[in-house]
Amino acid sequence: MSENKNLTDKMKDASMLLDIARKEIAKRIIGQADMVNGLLMGIITGGHILVEGVPGLAKTQMVKAVADVLNADFKRIQFTPDLLPADLTGTMIYRPQTGEFVPRKGPVFSNIILADEINRAPSKVQAALLEAMAESQVTIGDNTYRLAEPFFVMATQNPIEQEGTYQLPEAQLDRFIMKLKVDYPNPQEELAILNQLDKRDDQVLRKVFTKYSIQDLKDLAASIRVDESIKKYIVSIVNASRVKGRNQLPFTRFIEFGASPRASIALFECARVNALFENREFVLPEDVKAVAYNVLRHRIVLSYEAESEELSSDDVIRDILSIVTVP
């Protein structure tokens, strides 16, 4: 996007670019529009995404398609109980020709990482990946290496099979900017999947983005206006999730721990990108509501009472949004 263009023209260019990207991804992936937008939002914000869904919902194909339109390197890492941190980050290997140890970089040095079933690997392996996500760097031996830009991780969890898993601690869950829930396709989408089965894998997707255009989108999102009333609205939503030190609300008995200030930052950043998706130069309360579930659902720890009544974090978020005054 040219520097001499005004904000309106840049917004139009960005909207066109994103529409092309969505159409390219749709050549391989039927439906799942919310997940596509969630992945694009994560990349533009510079955050990472946790995806929860049963096997067979095209999560791997989705992130591969996104990597293709981004013209980015892609690696899939299957997390298993015997995985070691060095299997992700790399290690030092001995080179007999020179008598030296040289670094062999691991798959985490790619642009787009699919961490498949992240909760099946031990905590030390999870921590190695989450450290790379937080710091955008990896230490091998005595040397520290910066990771490539863009660097984006999509981690998946299977909500059904929990035996032999290592639950992610709340502090590590908080590192993901959003948690997306992937549902089954509707009958029309599933029929379309069958009709395209023979040709879908042969589709060559257009390289829509470069690392420079991704940075342009990040800069453009950062220029979208957020009124002070919207900022206060974001803080009020996050503050309503915190039980201690405030008047009890009807839903607070269902909350063990509320969201951290990192949730406010994530709501702020994701709401701006949602406004970008809507081709608007400013954020509305609707943008905050649109991203609230994805941003907050993994940051609110439910109480035993909520579990006994079979309530989910989405139920609590709905109550929070209904009680917080909209500017």
Given this model, what pLDDT does residue 294 score?
96
Using 70 as the pLDDT threshold, list the residues of the chain that sit under it.
1-5, 161-164, 199-202, 244-248
β-pairing, 301-302 with 112-116?
unpaired
pLDDT per position as a tens digit, 207-253: 888 777 888 999 999 999 999 999 999 999 999 988 765 556 777 88
Given this model, what pLDDT does residue 253 score?
81
Give the dihedral sign, CA 45/46/47/49: positive
pTM for the model:
0.88
pLDDT per position as a tens digit, 135-174: 888 888 888 889 988 899 999 988 876 666 778 878 788 8
Given this model, what pLDDT does residue 200 score?
59
Given this model, what pLDDT does residue 141 score?
80
CA atoms of 305 and 317, how far apart (whole Å): 16
- Asked if 1-191 and 224-323 have one fold, the answer is no
Contact 302, 316 (CB under 8 A): yes
**Domain residue spans of the chain:** 1-191, 224-323
What does the block give as tokens for 88?
């992700």
Report, at the CATH architecture level, how domain 1-191 is classified: 3-Layer(aba) Sandwich (3.40)
Given this model, what pLDDT does residue 162 score?
64
CA atoms of 115 and 72, how far apart (whole Å): 16
Q: Which CATH class is domain 224-323?
A: mainly alpha
Given this model, what pLDDT does residue 247 score?
56
What does the block give as tokens for 41?
């939002």
